[in-house]
Structure 1
Amino acid sequence: MVKSLVIALVSVFALSAQAADWSFLQNDTDSQLYVKSYSGVLLGSQTHPSDSFDIWLINTGYQYPVEEDISLYMEAGPALGTRGDQAGFNISSGVRYQLSPSLNIGSQVKQLETSKPSTLVELNSSLLLTPQLALTANYGVSPFSTEQFLVLGLGLHF
């Protein structure tokens, strides 16, 4: 009984999604697939003060513009720690605003799953050095704990 009710609800939602007007998202000429390789995540509560970076991230993302200077995006990738117990993954989604042709700022919500899961609200920025290479910086805080993260890295866009 429950299984058939779930199937019926999923069918109704699927038909509703097909009937919705998604044309505002169909601007494929400016869509962009990218790889962002962070040089490291500098944790706010480091266990070893001599360690500069604790976790390394390599994300693949996709963004598409919804307005001329505003893009929505989603990223995901592995998280590799300096110690074996820090391996995991991260996923984030957010909004970017293009301040100039070479500078953008944004905000995102990130889920970082390593030895200790963290949910972060982040402010981020990216400075394009070339059309394919960008310097990135993110500052995140956890709404559920006192964790703070500073992320510095390079982004490769293609």
Structure 2
Amino acid sequence: MSSQSKNAEQFDLWQIDSGYAYSISNDVELYLSTRLTSGNETQAASRGMLSGVKYNLTPKMSLRSAVTAEKRINQDATVGLEVSSQFSVTEQVNFHATVDYEDLEQIYQLGIGFRF
């Protein structure tokens, strides 16, 4: 679950990803996930799916790539590409960076994550 801020507004968009990962080897996983994103006054809510590959470069660092398909309310579906990396500082805290390209917009995201 993550929160996003658009155009220096408050954190008012919530994204929930849930899915399944299948290990091919110790370092490579295939995954399939569903995604729900809340809406606000400037962006419609959406639902979608993503499928991709996760590669563990080291025990603390990983790289993920995915193809996404998202459908916003009263709009056509959009297809996108997403590439992200993650570095685990501790078991619960990690740094992550994401580049997400969709038909309608480009999103670059840097952040700190918390796992529970």
| Structure 2 unpaired stretches of 5+ | none
Looking at both structures, which has the greater relative contact order when contacts are Cα pairs under 8 Å and sequence separation is at least 6?
Answer: 1
Partner of 2:23: 65
Partner of 1:75: 33
Deviation at 1:151, TM superposition (A): 4.1
Structure 1 runs of 4+ aligned residues shifted over 4 Å read none
Partner of 1:156: 115
Percent identity, aligned pairs only?
Answer: 27
Amino acid at match of 1:75: S
When the two structures are superposed, what TM-score results if normalisation uses the length of structure 2?
A: 0.74
Q: How does 1:76-155 map to 2 (within 5 A)?
A: 76-83=34-41, 86-115=44-73, 116=75, 117-142=77-102, 145=103, 147-152=105-110, 154=113
| Structure 1 unpaired stretches of 5+ | 1-36, 43-48
Larger Rg: 1
Deviation at 1:39, TM superposition (A): 2.5
The number of aligned residues is: 113
When the two structures are superposed, what TM-score results if normalisation uses the length of structure 1?
A: 0.58
